[in-house]
């Protein structure tokens, strides 16, 4: 049996698919669906996970860890007693606890799982999540993006009419927004955006900070136990707004009773900066998809933090429609992950999903910065832009930068920063080139990205035709190298440079032919149009090329039948 797991920042869940009842969440040993993603350690080596660990947060703050999902893929360590723990090890303890609860409930061994991750997790964060699963004794069949899992759970793939919708996923520690379109039974992911350091914990922290300011307390003067006590009261205050628009926080600090009365309006006002951070990924996703808010037919809320009134009100006001929260936002992701697991098992009760995806981050390489200062010597040269529908293939050309250069190094990066070294380095390739004056030798670099998150990098020396190739696999990809090679062989048609594609060659041929027949200003206008079209071809964006080609064809038709000819 393959289970579905939502490994959350604040809470985690596990579910399985029952042929009679469908997706079912497995309760933990305390009979609850939600298991807090909290780990605590006792002096004798006993490990506590979940509700018990969360309860020890106040009494044993130095032995208790939470919100470590935010540090997945990083080098951060947590010092507990005489030991250090990585976010991967802590996450593995949570996953192991879920696994044990599932085995006890189902009376069978659990060895395989589909685990959800934020859509905006990068390659290192995904590898860390998969490693945590393996450390917990699980074979990770797939990492599924949380918004995609939510879409499956909502049954959005069953909608027959064409529509566009946004999945607004605000969890305890991360925020994702995904823009998807349904057309003729196919769910197409247009774009994803997000903030891996924004979630419900930040709204709790805002109340915590307001309490400190109101009572003129300095955080540096407080013990860890006191801080956690105030944070717990802040969390209760945040949750309490769902029942009453006025909340009172009372804390006993150094034998002195301190309190703060907070209205929901004041809380909303204090969270203006957080709301602005929520808005930016939404704007980016709409901009990348070339859509406006009016084009969105439905907004789906995912994540426990969307239960806050101020969030639902904000989303409703922003999109001019009531958001859909008909499925429990705490449970929707694990239900989708569980259904994906059923699909992996070819369960006859679950229809397979036809889904097209996008490349969540830009993929590119580094180039020399002629105005380099200090560490920022290399600029980032994008090859496949973020939110490009996959599979996709793009080619860029680079040249030597100094005389008698003997080799060119191609560093493969993932990210959006203008400086190469501020993005995520995935791999490196080196190819030898003939010694020649700077700029004389060139290489063509082709990136081909597959829906299975496989990246093929081909570097070809243009003068000698020497070619090297490397396939970079994502951590959740179960495809063997032999299967990957076969897959990219099927995608050869994508690797044909746009200038070499027949329909584009025909337009250029007609334009060059007509250029020879024209004179004066009209001839110059056509020359500029040809250069413009060639520039579009070099960028390699299919939709842009198709639009430009149609524009060129209209221009050539107009000129061809002009009375001046």
pLDDT at residue 494 is higher than 60: no
Query: Within 10 Å of residue 29's Cβ, how many Cβ atoms?
Result: 15
C-beta separation of 300 from 187 below 8 A: no
Peptide bond into 391 cis (omega under 30): yes
pLDDT of residue 283: 93
Please state, in angstroms and rounded to a whole number, the distance separating the CA atoms of residues 76 and 72: 9
The lowest-confidence range among 31-40, 360-369, 385-394 is 385-394
Q: Which residue, among 155, 199, 157, 153, has the nearest Cα to 176 in the 3D structure?
A: 199
Say which range, 230-234, 236-240, 483-487, has the weakest mean pLDDT. Answer: 483-487
DSSP 453: S
Say if residue 186's pLDDT is above 70. no
Which CA distances in Å does 507 have to 493, 510, 549? 20, 5, 7
pLDDT(213) > 90: yes
Average pLDDT over residues 233-246: 93
Give me the CATH code for the 363-494 domain, please.
Answer: 2.60.34.10
Residue 199's pLDDT band (boundaries 50, 70, 90)?
very high
Question: What is the per-residue pLDDT across 413-429, written as a single tens digit (0 to 9) for each?
Answer: 998 888 898 888 989 99
Element (H, E) at 153: helix 146-154
Three-state DSSP string of 81-148: CCEEECHHHHHHHHHHHHHHHHHHHHCCCCCEEEEEECCCCCHHHHHHHHHHHHHCCCEEEEEEEHHH
* pLDDT at residue 498, rounded to an integer: 66
- pLDDT tens across 142-182, in order? 888 888 888 888 876 566 577 888 999 999 888 999 888 87
How far, rounded to the nearest angstrom, does the alpha carbon of residue 409 sit from its chain's CA centroid? 28
**Domain 200-272, CATH class in plain words:** alpha beta
Decide: 206 and 42 in contact? Cβ < 8 Å.
Answer: no
| Residue 56: both structure tokens together | 């020890």
Q: Across residues 345-374, what is the average pLDDT?
A: 70
pLDDT at 3: 95
Residue 411 has pLDDT above 90, yes or no: yes
**pLDDT, tens digit (0-9, with 9 covering 90-100), for 54-70:** 999 888 999 999 999 99
User: What band does 477 get if pLDDT is binned at 50, 70 and 90?
Assistant: low
In CATH terms, the fold of domain 2-198+273-356 is Nucleotidyltransferase; domain 5 (3.30.420)
Percentage, residues of the chain above pLDDT 70: 89
Give the residue-averaged pLDDT of 545-564.
81
Most confident listed range (328-342, 483-497, 519-533): 328-342
3-state secondary structure 526-553: HHHHHHHHHHHHHHCCHHHHHHHHHHHH
SS (H, E, C) 210-275: HHHHHCCCCHHHCCHHHHHHHHHHHHHHHHHCCCCCEEEEEEEECCEEEEEEEEHHHHHHHCHHHH
Q: What is the pLDDT of residue 561?
A: 66
Which of 250 and 355 is assigned the larger pLDDT?
Answer: 250
pLDDT at 160: 59
What digits encode the pLDDT tens for the residues 504-529? 888 888 888 888 777 778 888 888 99
CA distances in angstroms from 128 to 73, 86, 123, 143, listed in the order given:
5, 10, 9, 11
């Amino acid at each position: 049996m393959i289970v579905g797991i939502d490994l959350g920042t604040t809470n985690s869940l596990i579910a399985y698919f029952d042929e009679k009842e469908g997706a079912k969440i497995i309760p933990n040993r305390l009979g609850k669906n939600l298991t807090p993603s909290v780990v605590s350690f006792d002096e004798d080596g006993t490990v506590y996970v979940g509700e018990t660990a969360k309860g020890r947060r106040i009494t044993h703050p130095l032995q208790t860890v939470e919100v470590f999902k935010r540090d997945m893929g990083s080098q951060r360590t947590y010092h507990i007693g005489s030991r250090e723990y990585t976010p991967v090890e802590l996450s593995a303890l949570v996953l192991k606890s879920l696994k044990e609860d599932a085995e006890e409930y189902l009376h069978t061994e659990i060895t395989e799982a589909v685990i959800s991750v934020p859509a905006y997790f990068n390659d290192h964060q995904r590898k860390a999540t998969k490693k945590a699963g393996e450390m917990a004794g699980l074979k990770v069949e797939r990492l599924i993006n949380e918004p995609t899992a939510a879409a499956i759970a909502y049954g959005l793939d069953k909608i027959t009419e064409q529509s566009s919708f946004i999945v607004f996923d605000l969890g305890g520690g991360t925020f994702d927004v995904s823009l998807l379109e349904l057309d003729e039974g196919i769910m197409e992911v247009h774009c994803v955006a997000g903030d891996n350091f924004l979630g419900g914990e930040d709204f709790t922290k805002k109340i915590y900070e307001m309490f400190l300011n109101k009572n003129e307390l300095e955080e540096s003067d407080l013990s860890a136990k006191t801080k956690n006590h105030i944070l717990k009261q802040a969390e209760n205050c945040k949750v309490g707004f769902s029942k009453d628009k006025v909340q009172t926080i009372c804390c006993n600090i150094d034998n002195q009773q301190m309190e703060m009365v907070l209205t929901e309006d004041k809380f909303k006002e204090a969270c203006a900066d957080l709301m602005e951070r929520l808005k930016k990924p939404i704007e980016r996703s709409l901009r990348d998809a070339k859509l406006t808010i009016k084009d969105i037919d439905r907004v789906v809320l995912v994540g426990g933090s969307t239960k806050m009134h101020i969030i639902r009100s904000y989303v409703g006001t922003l999109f001019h429609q009531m958001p859909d929260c008909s499925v429990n936002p705490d449970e929707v992701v694990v239900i989708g992950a569980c259904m994906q697991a059923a699909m992996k098992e070819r369960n006859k009760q679950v229809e397979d999903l036809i889904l097209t995806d996008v490349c969540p981050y830009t993929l590119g390489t580094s180039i020399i910065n002629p105005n380099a200062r200090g560490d920022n010597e290399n600029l980032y040269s994008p090859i496949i832009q973020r939110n490009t529908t996959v599979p996709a293939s793009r080619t860029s050309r680079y040249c030597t930068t100094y005389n008698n250069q003997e080799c060119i190094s191609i560093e493969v990066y993932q990210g959006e920063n203008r400086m190469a070294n501020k993005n995520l380095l995935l791999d490196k390739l080196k190819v030898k080139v003939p010694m020649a004056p700077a700029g004389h030798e060139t290489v063509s670099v082709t990136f081909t990205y597959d829906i299975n998150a496989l990246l093929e990098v081909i570097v070809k020396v243009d003068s000698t035709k020497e070619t090297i190739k490397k396939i970079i696999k994502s951590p959740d990809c179960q495809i063997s190298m032999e299967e990957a090679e076969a897959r990219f062989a099927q995608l050869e048609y994508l690797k044909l440079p746009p200038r070499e594609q027949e329909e584009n060659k025909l337009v250029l041929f007609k334009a060059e032919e007509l250029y020879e027949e024209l004179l004066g200003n009209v001839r110059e206008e056509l020359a500029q149009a040809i250069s413009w079209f060639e520039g579009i071809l070099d960028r390699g964006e299919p939709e842009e090329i198709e639009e430009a080609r149609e524009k060129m064809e209209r221009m050539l038709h107009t000129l061809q039948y002009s009375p001046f000819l």
